[in-house]
Amino acid sequence: MLDYAALAALAAVIREGSFERAARALHVTPSAISQRIRLLEERVGCALVIRDQPCRATQTGRRLCQHVDQVQLLEQDLQGTLPALAAQGPSRASVPVAVNADSLATWLAPAIAAFAAEYPVLLQVAVDDQDHTAEWLRSGAVLAAVSATARPASGCNSRPLGAMRYLAAASPAFVQRHFAHGVGAASLALAPSLVFNAKDELQSRWVRRLCHRHVELPRHALPSSHAFVTAGLAGMGWGLHPQALIQPHLDNGTLVELLPATPLDVPLHWHTARAASSLLDGLSGAILAAARTSLLQP
């Protein structure tokens, strides 16, 4: 049997980022946390924590953290059916999820906020590119993810959410300065573009579809959906923006499409670990309902 006090210590270290903060969260001493982790590492025969700033989990450590999260969900379900357990004091299960920034900035945040306000959970939201969020679930770092990948990882389920529509846009002055003679491979190779981070391939994908070949783009990196819009309005560069985020600017003319009628639709999927939990089912229901009204449906 696993030592669940030690597992709770491991999860706290990874969640809080240090042994000291984990000790404060669990109301024990840092030495007690360190001893529990050491004994657990001896039990499983490998390192579980990368002692860095902040502390990070090894691959095995992430798997054990995911197991702790699943156990917390099951215990939360039990409290709903066993009043004696609930009477011992309120508790909230931690639910780690990975999402893409554009979903969080548009349709997803209201859905998860309403869910967390109603249910006894503490959501731990990690942000990554939609092509990479599924890796968080596969590694055991989260219990659920919004991903552009359709195929579920082993031990997980996947359900389609719909497609998020992106439009290539920039300020009118930027378009006039860089694309006065048209939008093509030559002009795109010179005009500064905007990317979320090094993983962001949306701009390159749109250009490849337009030009039928790869074009090396000059890029500003801005890891924020709202900063993308601000940068576009200021004439810093062009980028692929969620239509829902920039529609007011398109309507008033402060942003314009580089080429009208050339949207890029990105299908999204909801991946969850196969944990029999009413809380995880409830979160899935809230997200699927929000997607039906906010994303493009087949």
pLDDT digits (tens, 9 = 90+) for 203-241: 999 999 999 999 999 999 999 999 999 999 999 999 999
Q: Which of 82-86, 119-123, 219-223 has the lowest mean pLDDT?
A: 82-86
Confidence at residue 80, expressed as pLDDT on a 0 to 100 scale = 64
Distance of CA 152 to the CA centre of its chain: 16
Residue 256 pLDDT greater than 90, yes or no: yes
DSSP 163: E
Q: Tell me the HSE value of 63 on the side-chain side, using a 13 A CA sphere.
A: 9
pLDDT band at 88 (very low <50, low <70, confident <90, very high): low
Environment class of residue 194 by beta-carbon count within 10 Å: exposed (0-12), middle (13-18) or buried (19+)? buried
Q: Between the CA of residue 163 and those of 132, 188, 202, 244, what are the distances in Å?
A: 17, 26, 14, 12
| Cβ–Cβ < 8 Å for 137, 273 | yes
| Cβ–Cβ < 8 Å for 12, 25 | yes
Residue 106 pLDDT greater than 90, yes or no: yes
Residue 90 pLDDT greater than 70, yes or no: no
Higher per-residue confidence, 17 vs 78: 17
Confidence at residue 47, expressed as pLDDT on a 0 to 100 scale = 92
Q: Which of 14-18, 136-140, 141-145 has the lowest mean pLDDT?
A: 136-140
pLDDT band at 93 (very low <50, low <70, confident <90, very high): confident
Environment class of residue 209 by beta-carbon count within 10 Å: exposed (0-12), middle (13-18) or buried (19+)? exposed
Distance of alpha carbon 249 from alpha carbon 255, whole angstroms: 5
Confidence at residue 25, expressed as pLDDT on a 0 to 100 scale = 86
Residue 89 pLDDT greater than 60, yes or no: no
pTM: 0.81
Q: Rounded to the nearest 5 degrees, what angle is found at the Cα of 268, between the Cα atoms of 100 and 198?
A: 40
Residue 181 pLDDT greater than 60, yes or no: yes
Confidence at residue 154, expressed as pLDDT on a 0 to 100 scale = 82
Strand partners for 242:
166
Residue 83 pLDDT greater than 70, yes or no: no
36 contact partners, CB below 8 Å, separation of at least 6 = 3, 5, 6, 9, 10
pLDDT band at 70 (very low <50, low <70, confident <90, very high): confident
